[in-house]
Amino acid sequence: MIAQLRGTIVRTDDQQTIFDVQGVGYAVNISGRTQGQLGTMAGEVTLLTEMQVREDSMTLFGFLDLAERDAFRLLITVQGVGAKAAMAILSVLSPSDLTNAIIAGDKAMVARADGVGPKIAQRVVNELGEKIGKITSLGGALAIGDSGAGTAGGAAGGLDGAAAGLFGDAVSALVNLGYGRAEAHSAVMRVQAKAGGDNLSDVIAAALREMGT
């Protein structure tokens, strides 16, 4: 298993880069976002990699940070989302944008990716809603808006892994009570922005008050 490469970029074409590591050229598939970032870098670069082995091929996928790699791993667990679709999603959404879209239940953001239709986007949102906040690298990317914001934009900071897990659990609990995911997400976000809190029951109760229940 090749987990990391450090070398220089020889050529990048159509979201695939040739990476020279001590004279050996590796063909690495990358997202459009990573391609843009690599274009600004000079000298040696380190890529985290994920290798997929098939009966007739071995394919490397490269990522500049842990969050993008973990997002890729999570996306390909969704039925109908292969490596190509996962990279397409990561080309249009940063890991933090993807986290916020999933927790908010915003399938339209996911469907912006080439080749990802509304059915697949809905599946991504549904299947990953309870998982994504529990992964430290992705939960840490979860943005909290200020108390007047209705979305995750205008971030005041990030959540660490434990806080992100609490956030996701609170949203899931509210959804199980019959509230819409976007409404629950917004209410919990307002609670966390105002007062924080590390007790799940307290956060849920405060979110219910936010929704006027």
Q: Domain residues of the chain, as ranges?
A: 4-64, 67-210
CATH code of the region 67-210: 1.10.150.20
8 Å CB contact between 48 and 57: no
Q: Which residues of the chain are under the pLDDT cut of 70?
A: 133-134, 139-164, 196, 213
**Alpha helices, DSSP H only, in the chain?**
32-38, 66-75, 83-92, 95-104, 107-110, 118-128, 136-139, 161-176, 181-194, 200-210
Q: What is the fold of 4-64?
A: OB fold (Dihydrolipoamide Acetyltransferase, E2P) (2.40.50)
pLDDT of residue 143: 46
Two structure tokens written together for 2? 């090749």
Domains 4-64 and 67-210 share a fold: no
Distance (Å, whole) CA 83 – CA 50: 10
Give the rounded percent of residues in the chain with a pLDDT score beyond 70: 86
- Rounded CA-CA distance 32/36 in Å is 6
The Cα–Cα gap between 20 and 88 comes to 24
